[in-house]
Amino acid sequence: MKRFLSCLWIAAFALPMWAADIPDRPEKLRFPPLKYDPPTGSDYRIQLKSGPVVYLVPNRELPLVSISIRVRTGSFEAPSGKEGMAELTGSLLTAGAGSRSAEDLEERLAFLAARLGASVSSTQGSVSMNLLTKDLQEGLGILREVLTAPKFQQDRIDLSKKQVIQAMKQRNDDSRGIERRERVNLLFGENFWRTRMSTKASIDSITRKDLQAFHRDWFHPANFVVAASGDFDRDEMRVELETLFSDWPFKGKKASGIPIDGRAFAKSGIYIVNKEVNQGRVSILLPGIQRDNPDYYAIQVMNDILGGGGFTSRITNRVRSDEGLAYSAGSSFPGGTYYPMAFFAGFQSKSRTVLYAVSIVFEEMKRITTESVTDQEMKTAKNSFIQTFPQSFATKGQVAGAFLDEEYTGRAKGNPDYYKNYRAKIAAVTKADVQRVAKKYLNPKQAVILIVGDKKTILNGHPDHPVNLKNLTSGGLIDIPLRDPFTLEPIK
């Protein structure tokens, strides 16, 4: 009892001292500077004799192993008239392998509680496996069969083709899909490979031999970059992967690199796809940059203030919070990896308020070019990048994935200190830098505005907020017809 009373007495006198250290407002809280050194890719990088570069990141916390393989290929490798072939190859790579049918393979993976995935996107192929450590030997055997001897089971091919064609029927059902499709066309033009999309004819033309040929052309160790993380010994895993990729049964082709020629950004104007829906979807586009552009860091800070920072950004506050014109509104300005990626600002609003919301976005774009941003905006934007930076390496899997991406895209060689210098470069951005890049890149005379919605209602606008279209862009009004979902030809 005496000890209990003594503790109460100490607490009673200690509380005022503790309270004195607690500020009365949360913004008065002060924290020591964040000290964090990112991992270094060279610590995990290994060049295998069998060809691939591998990043090995051991982690003994759980009895699990994850292996990810990037393949230097993409939809750009599909020949004209065979659009969709690359994607089908990726999705069907696990439709049986070696002596196992698709059903047998799925059953065995389920028994092992293992996950196996494969895909081919626009600029890369991917094969991944996650399994228990005790099953690693069997899992590597399955992975070898999938990589070297996929069955491309005919009934699965037929089913996948039917599913793809069935999905085509819905291409014009959702204005979001229409917006994405036409946005790509405006960003890159008709002669760039990114605008090539599958049609019913191209899917119908794809055969099992096509899938086998695509696989044999590109899925071989010389085109692989690999990352492994989990419960393994580094040297032992190196030996296992050397075995996995050795004595490949076919030679394949050398990766040719991502094509960059043929891009053509659309001329300035307001492009409208007429669709009878209650809300209009809007994309505001401007020519962009690549990620190695010296202005990249200033652009990231500028865009965070303008529209990339969520509820702390100007576009979100004006369009969503102040005016209530859209549930979500914002912008992005990524640096392209292989070719420039555009500035994008977008939202969805009621038809009659679409143009008013567009005018607000343009007001904010102009304001950030003519007025200096505030100290608080700079602090918030910079902290959003600097303070969250360690989260990119929160797990061993993320570490492996980050350096896998760096190796695949070439930055590991071209800019190996990217992660080391990232925060310092963000911290060095000044208010003058923000205004400079805003003036340089947010040029309204180059703006392309894509609208998908009820044209008549949208152009009539809101009676209380009239908008002169000539004040938005230097271009005119251009109609984009809906496309036939199977042929993608304009519907007349």
Tell me what the mean pLDDT of segment 312-337 comes to. Answer: 96
Cα 319 to chain centroid, rounded: 25
Q: How far, in Å, CA of 452 to CA of 376, rounded?
A: 36
pLDDT value at 459 more than 60: yes
Residues in Cβ contact with 12 at an 8 Å cutoff, skipping those fewer than 6 apart = none
Q: 115-120 and 125-132: which strand pairing? A: antiparallel
Q: Which structure tokens are listed for 219?
A: 């899925």
- CA trace torsion 422, 425, 427, 429 (10° rounding): -140
Q: Do 269-479 and 41-245 fall under one CATH topology?
A: yes
Cβ distance 141 to 72 under 8 Å? no
Choose among 296, 333, 400, 339: nearest CA to 122.
Answer: 339
Residue 185 β-bridge partners: none
Q: What is the pLDDT of residue 26?
A: 84
Tell me what the mean pLDDT of segment 311-328 comes to. Answer: 95
pLDDT value at 176 more than 80: yes
- What burial class does residue 114 get, using C-beta atoms within 10 Å of its C-beta: 0-12 exposed, 13-18 middle, 19+ buried? buried
Q: What is the pLDDT of residue 341?
A: 96
pLDDT band (50, 70, 90) for residue 14: low
Q: What is the pLDDT of residue 29?
A: 84
Classified as helix, coil or strand, 381 is: helix
Helix ranges restricted to H, 171-330: 175-188, 200-205, 208-218, 234-245, 296-303, 314-315
Q: What is the pLDDT of residue 471?
A: 85
pLDDT value at 1 more than 80: no
User: Domain-by-domain residue ranges, the chain?
Assistant: 41-245, 269-479
Cβ distance 270 to 478 under 8 Å? yes
Residue-wise pLDDT tens digits, 109-143: 999 999 999 999 999 999 999 999 999 999 999 99
Tell me what the mean pLDDT of segment 196-218 comes to. Answer: 98
* Stronger pLDDT, 19 or 358, i.e. the higher one: 358
Residue-wise pLDDT tens digits, 421-455: 999 999 999 999 999 999 999 999 999 999 999 99
Q: How far, in Å, CA of 71 to CA of 79, rounded?
A: 18
* Stronger pLDDT, 492 or 73, i.e. the higher one: 73
Q: How far, in Å, CA of 441 to CA of 411, rounded?
A: 24
Residues in the chain: 492
Q: What is the pLDDT of residue 212?
A: 98
- CA trace torsion 334, 335, 337, 340 (10° rounding): 100
Cα 326 to chain centroid, rounded: 23
Q: Which structure tokens are listed for 473?
A: 């862009």
Q: What is the pLDDT of residue 19?
A: 57
Residue 480 β-bridge partners: none
Choose among 31, 120, 118: nearest CA to 78.
Answer: 120
**Residue 471 backbone phi and psi in degrees, to 5:** -85, -10
Choose among 145, 163, 151, 190: nearest CA to 87.
Answer: 163
Residue-wise pLDDT tens digits, 222-235: 999 999 999 999 99
Tell me what the mean pLDDT of segment 144-158 comes to. Answer: 97
Q: What is the pLDDT of residue 356?
A: 97
Choose among 119, 123, 126, 92: nearest CA to 211.
Answer: 92
pLDDT value at 7 more than 70: no
CB burial of 429-450 (b: ≥16 within 10 Å; e: otherwise) equals bebebbbebbeebbbbebbbbb
Cβ distance 114 to 106 under 8 Å? no
Residue-wise pLDDT tens digits, 235-278: 999 999 999 999 999 999 999 889 999 999 999 999 999 999 99
Q: What is the pLDDT of residue 30?
A: 82
Q: What is the pLDDT of residue 395?
A: 96
Task: Give the CATH number of domain 41-245; options: 3.40.640.10, 3.90.650.10, 1.10.150.120, 3.30.830.10.
Answer: 3.30.830.10
- Angle value at C-alpha 390, between 48 and 397, nearest 5 degrees: 40
Q: What is the pLDDT of residue 20?
A: 58
Range 269-479 has CATH code 3.30.830.10:
yes
pLDDT above 70 coverage of the chain, percent = 96
Tell me what the mean pLDDT of segment 194-202 comes to. Answer: 97
Q: What is the pLDDT of residue 492?
A: 83
- Could you please report the per-residue DSSP string of 433-466? HHHHHHHHH--GGG-EEEEEE-HHHHHH-BTTB-
Sheet holding 125-132, edge to edge: 45-47, 53-58, 224-230, 64-71, 125-132, 115-120
Q: How far, in Å, CA of 96 to CA of 138, rounded?
A: 16
Q: What is the pLDDT of residue 294?
A: 97
Q: What is the pLDDT of residue 423?
A: 97
Residue-wise pLDDT tens digits, 18-53: 555 788 888 788 878 778 899 999 999 999 999 999
pLDDT value at 15 more than 90: no
- What burial class does residue 235 get, using C-beta atoms within 10 Å of its C-beta: 0-12 exposed, 13-18 middle, 19+ buried? exposed
Residue-wise pLDDT tens digits, 368-427: 999 999 999 999 999 999 999 999 999 999 999 999 999 999 999 999 999 999 999 999
pLDDT value at 2 more than 70: no
* Stronger pLDDT, 35 or 201, i.e. the higher one: 201
Q: How far, in Å, CA of 317 to CA of 328, rounded?
A: 10
